[in-house]
Amino acid sequence: MENFELVYLKSLSKQFPTIASACTEIINLQAILNLPKGTEHFLTDIHGEYEQFNHVLKNGSGSVRRKIDEEFGSHLSIRDKRSLATLIYYPKEKLEIVMQEEENIEDWYKITLHRLIQMTKRVASKYTRSKVRKALPREYAYIIEEMITEKEEVQNKEAYYNEILDTTIKVGRAPDFIKALCLLIQHLVIDHLHIVGDVYDRGAGPHFIMDTLTEYHSVDIQWGNHDVVWMGAASGHLACIANVIRMSARYGNLDIIEDGYGINLIPLVTFALETYKDTNCDLFGIKYNTDYNTKDLGMDMKMHKAISMIQFKLEGQLVMRCPEFGMEDRNLLDKIDYEKKTVLVNGVEYSMKDLDFPTVDPKDPYRLSPEEEQVMERLRQGFLHSEKLQKHVRFLFSKGGLYKIHNSNLLYHGCMPMDEKGNFNKVNIYGKEYSGKKLYDVLDNYARKGYYSQDVKEKRKGQDILWYIWAGPNSPVFGKDKMATFERYFIADKAAGKEKKNAYYSLVNEEKVINHILKEFGLDPEKSHIINGHVPVESIKGETPIKCGGKLLIIDGGFSKAYQSKTGIAGYTLVANSHGMHLVAHEPFESAEAAVKNESDIFSDFIPVENAAKRLNVADTDIGEEIRQSIIQLKKLLEAYRDGVIAERGV
């Protein structure tokens, strides 16, 4: 036996100090391998739409309703099933209505508790008792475990269980017990959640979504470009901060920054009102929602223009500082001819719709004015010292990355940068070329340095990479040749603002290309899938999210309301369970209030992707492989005990 292995086994013996304890664990782990695989839930491109996200999370993309159908079949009416589903999704809100309207509340409690216990038994049936026990709410753990666990020693089981429920009702704990059961069912229906990018921007509630994710029992996140720019802003990178504020201003969501993250925008407000008070800001309108207070419109338009001009300057400085990014075509402030009122974009001269730039010096257009520098420094301090933002971004770093390999699925937000022939693009990152998986890895590594590094130069490089991931032409999560923000604001000719997608998106049905990507990440093309979002699937035009015969799934169907007129639906989600994989296409969600009041669910269309030839067990998953390795080590420990190499303890 190697010395290193002996050291490891001695360490393992502290956890399993006897032959009996090691044998018990082997038996337990071997049994777990034969349990059904847990349900995985995939969401992407949420873009701040908290209410719809929250509802989809609560109903598990229809998983709760399917479990109700399986458990009760024709024994419950459609109306009763709908009412039970609504209660499970929104227990607090539904109970408030029931307690006001129900004449015999004790009978309702009894019936409802029996149904919820049945549902809990069903959703808990594929987990070990230990795993279920860990999920139980502490104050009701004993009662729930008694109710969902068969007690062979109890002769009159029905009377025993009824007495537990009757007593719970008599002591006034039924409402809290119901809430606890509903939340437990939500928890157990989904074993693991994957967020495949873009929590932030456009919608008004990304901070609420992040609050929910930080409390979720099991989750991973693949960063989208909109997440990465917020991560860059949280690191204190000025260009990222400007982008984040501009996007929030554009969509009427500055409250996210001020109220959600407690960042003081008064310095920007004061600067914008003074500097842009006599400036035409018509091109900087606000795409506001129904909650937007239009009395702030004039001020917000001035802020929108002020931060946009600061952004163009900061990005120009960055492009000149990092020529290896190959983004010189993005510097347009120095290409403006103020006399002709035109700008030169890629050798083509276009008319400008606006040239009223009070802070731009034509001789040195990328220099911030002293006032702009002061504003940005105060904003930088605000982002760095926002406790909630820093908590959320640390969570993104700890639970996330640019890609993830999980149960033979490759998850990433955007694309694999490539040319028209399917060859991976070589990208210069600080003097060295990377492509394929190595490009993903080096960008991920620098992103972490941008936030965590104590080395000033490495931190600066990492912060600039965070911005590059947001908008760079070979960024895997951007996937376009340019971000034409300047052109969309100032040039009427739409040809100037056209953003060309990476060749990846025209090759997604080429099996050779998809197989090449899967092999690059060490996956078997015959058993694996790529799951990504980023580019909305235009279902309204008959486009399908299933590409390359099911090897690639693009599940951005338009959670963001800004895209729903284009997609025709309100988002795709993906569910992978022990029976296979299916996509769920969601109709637009009205509101949580309507869902509770009218007992309305999101209408969802189920699209089969892959049916398992046999029901998948834990043994067929990544966790199963980890368990098998643990069993191997435990068997070696047993051998060491029996050979006398390691002595049992406490016998």
Give one DSSP letter per residue of 34-60, joined into a string. TSBPPPEEEE---TT-HHHHHHHHHHG
Q: Which two tokens stand for residue 14?
A: 């502290």
Q: What pLDDT sits at residue 457?
A: 97
Alpha-carbon distances, residue 271 vs 83, 263, 305, 373 (angstroms) = 53, 16, 11, 11
Q: Which two tokens stand for residue 34?
A: 């034969």
The pTM is what?
Answer: 0.92
pLDDT tens per residue across span 126-159: 898 889 999 999 888 888 888 888 665 556 677 8
Q: 79: which DSSP letter?
A: H
Give, to the nearest 10 degrees, the angle between helix 297-321 and helix 238-250. 150
276, 306 in Cβ contact below 8 A? yes
Closest CA to 569 of 595, 551, 542: 542
Closest CA to 144 of 111, 172, 170, 120: 120
What type of residue is 112?
A: T
Q: Which two tokens stand for residue 86?
A: 């609504």
Q: What pLDDT sits at residue 590?
A: 64
Q: Supply the mean pLDDT for the chain.
A: 92
265, 300 in Cβ contact below 8 A? no
Closest CA to 120 of 160, 88, 161: 88
Write phi, then psi, for 291 (nearest 5 degrees): -85, -5
3-state SS, residue 574:
strand
pLDDT tens per residue across span 573-631: 899 999 999 888 877 666 777 778 777 665 566 788 888 889 999 999 999 999 999 99
Closest CA to 413 of 535, 231, 537, 539: 535
Q: What percent of the chain has pLDDT over 70?
A: 93
Is the pLDDT confidence value at 539 over 60? no
